[in-house]
A and B are shown apart, each in its own frame.
Chain A
Amino acid sequence: MDFTLSDDRQALVDVLGRFIRERYTLALRHKASQDAPGHDQATWQQLAEIGVIGALFDEEFGGFAGSPYDLIAIFETLGHGLVSEPVMPVLMAGTILEQARPDLLEDIIAGQSIVVPALFEAGGRYDHTIIQTRAVNTGSGFTLDGSKAVVAHAEAANALIVSATDESGSAGLYLVPTDAEGVFIRGYPGNDGSRAAEISLTNVALDEGARLGDIALADAAIAKGRLALCAEALGIAEWLKTATLDYLKTRVQFGKPIGSNQALQHRMVEMVVRIEQMRSAVINAAAAMDGNGGGTDTTARDRAISAAKYTVGNNGIEVAEESIQMHGGIGMTMELDMTHFARRAVLIDHQLGDADHHLASYIASAAAA
């Protein structure tokens, strides 16, 4: 048994970590979230240069890594720096394109092109198979009508991968350039300081090649997206733990550090235990995805992913709320870095299925087994 990273992966994570510490500030993140494109383009270029985007994909597709273990190492590091760049959406879109349009990956890996998935709709909550968006085959191509909800980093993208149902009732994925006529993107800042958008599609004309394939292509992408979010949440929780521990040691009330009160010591220990459980859940999920090895039986993978998303969702929120509470009044202020991490730790549970959604999936999957 070996829980350590390979030397190559450790080196990448070290470079990424150093880059974040030295170059990526929360001020930069905040500024980027105020308006389109909603992320920092210079940062994106540098992430491409140090190989972060390439590390999301296998050599076969022009990348150099892409295993689940690579993903969790990268996303934990991004979480620890509260990086709000479209890495997770690009991972998801790229996973779909690996199967459908591998030729597009080169530009993505080079940081020249950003493609993000737009798979969820307002009425569908966390279920991407509830699709109202319609695709009509015109003989020479397709037209799309409908809308997509809370699409992370849509404004940064030059193309979207949109799900739609055609006349025969079959759901498919379509590549939609964001500058196509009829695509309207309404961007906004999120409560976690990252950026998302509502998308409406009105009579959007696409050529024949726009259909990427069946909706099932999205499954692997969603699984990887969830794994990435779990790892990101873990990195955030680790950061919150360090910041809160530091505060307990330095904030003095009643003539002594507040951390000398056993009531808070035990709360801090609870936090540590939670984070260890989160880490193990993330490792379990990566192992299940790795074990699946591209096979078709994805039940075990999805169950482990749900277990992780459930564990990370509930515990991540708990870690965030405890961090705020143990900081007292100062923990309520926008000025403190900590609260930005805490807000993201809470809102991450609202992406790709919350703890309840995944607990229900786990129960259903376990009952079927």
Chain B
Amino acid sequence: MDLSFSPEEQAFRDEVRDFLKSELPARLSDKVRTGKHLDKAEIEEWQAILSRKGWLAPHWPKEYGGQGWSVVQRYLYDIETSQAHAPHVVPFGLSMLAPVLIAFGSQEQKDHWLPRMLNGDDWWCQGYSEPGAGSDLANVRTAAIRDGDEYVVNGQKTWTTLGQHANMMFCLVRTDTDGPRQQGISFLLVDMEAPGVEVRPIITLDGGHEVNEVFFTDVRVPAENLVGEEGRGWTYAKYLLTYERTSMAAIGSSKAGLAWLKSIARAEMANGKPLIEDALFAARLARVEIELANLETTTLRVVASAAQGGAPGAESSILKIKGSEIRQEISSLARRAIGPYAQPFPPEIDVEGSNEPAIGPDYAGVITPNYLNLRKLTIFGGSNEIQKNIISKAVLGL
């Protein structure tokens, strides 16, 4: 057994570190480090930097403009970018739709959409969930009815992350109401600027706007925007759900979050000494740190097995469950750390150029909203309960 990375892998890691040191603007990494929201332009700025380097979609095969990186390289890249507080790349096009297009799309679709993704021409959003189709995704009702060389789409999607920025949505629609539910679902690419598409904001409990409701009224979509075959959308969606296996653990984000938490716990005072020396708080901190170290090795074991061509299994569910719990716990501890200053909700702190002084310590303002926002981690991407159902059925045979 040897837990170290090979010399080539270490050299790769150094290359990533050097790149981040020279190319990642401190303006952006400071915002990420302190939990502030990035606006659309800032996200696009970083994605353009990555694109110039050829690292916007390093996981794609080389022929499509990717780097064809190994799972280990991708893992190292995730860790390094998170720890350097690089902005997260918007995953919907690059990591969710692209693999489906590469596997099931037509040549024209690949030639058209993939270069546009690398160029930053489109902002994609994911239209799976509906009011009646959450955990039970096969219950999608949004109807797409073929009319000549178009589909006419009617219905509603919800929880659409960053849909307010998007010009394109990939969605699951019902093209057939007979037969088993899964077989009537198709995978369609919808222009968000087409007549009949309406996006309404949903404000989440942290006061933020990152999700939306999207309504379709007689929206006409060219039939060439159907991905793969009609009625096979469910298979493609499933493929996508198992595609990203190791990033689910969010080890990099948790490591960065833990480092931030510790810096706060050093600055906060409790009973005349730094909070990090408080016995009860230190115990909470130690517990989550140990969990994270364990999960990191669990993730590496999955990475190593995938590197040897291991089939995707229920590991992704294990990584998702533990990874989301750890991130939530870190955000809870940050809330606990700031004591009474968890209470003020000063919207102005997030406003660029505001010269109002912070209320309480300058790191405090974002912490409770962040804690509240991260409640989503155990709900989306297949809730943790659904992940447990998967493990108990698929692995344990219960």
Contacts and interface: CB of A to CB of B under 8 A. Distances in A.
B345 A325 contact: no
B102 interface: no
Contact of A188 (B158, B344, B379): B344
Contact of A125 (B132, B270, B344, B369): B270
B388 A263 contact: yes
B269 interface: yes
B334 to A, nearest CB: 12
Contacts of A325: 375, 378-379, 383-384
B129 A359 contact: no
The 4 closest A-B pairs by CB, nearest first: A253-B136, A339-B205, A150-B340, A191-B368
B372 A343 contact: yes
A350 B134 contact: no
A332 B269 contact: no
Contacts of B134: 253, 328-329
A321 B204 contact: no
Interface in B147-172: 158-159
Given A150-B343, A263-B389, 10 more contacts: A126-B339, A191-B342, A253-B139, A328-B134, A329-B129, A329-B211, A331-B379, A332-B204, A347-B368, A360-B271
Contact of A356 (B139, B202, B203, B336): B336
Given A149-B360, A253-B135, A329-B380, A356 B345 contact: no
Interface of B: 129, 132, 134-136, 139, 158-159, 202-205, 207, 211, 268-271, 278-281, 284, 332, 335-336, 339-346, 359-360, 368-369, 371-372, 375-376, 378-380, 383-385, 388-389
Contacts of B384: 325
Q: What class of interface size applies to chain A in its complex with B?
A: 35 or more
Contacts of B344: 150, 188, 190-191, 196
B270 A350 contact: no
A219 interface: no
Given A120-B340, A350-B339, A350-B343, A333 B360 contact: no
A366 interface: no
Interface centre among A120, A122, A329, A350 (most CB of B within 10 A): A329
A8 to B, nearest CB: 35
Given A126-B340, A263-B385, A332 B278 contact: no
A81 B284 CA distance: 33
Nearest to A256: B136
A202 to B, nearest CB: 16
A198 interface: yes
Contacts of A21: none
Contacts of B204: 332-334
Nearest to A192: B343
A358 B101 CA distance: 56
Contact of A191 (B211, B280, B343): B343
Given A125-B269, A347-B343, A333 B280 contact: no
A354 B336 contact: yes
A123 interface: yes
A335 interface: yes
Contacts of B380: 329
Contact of A328 (B280, B335, B340, B383): B383
Nearest to B360: A122
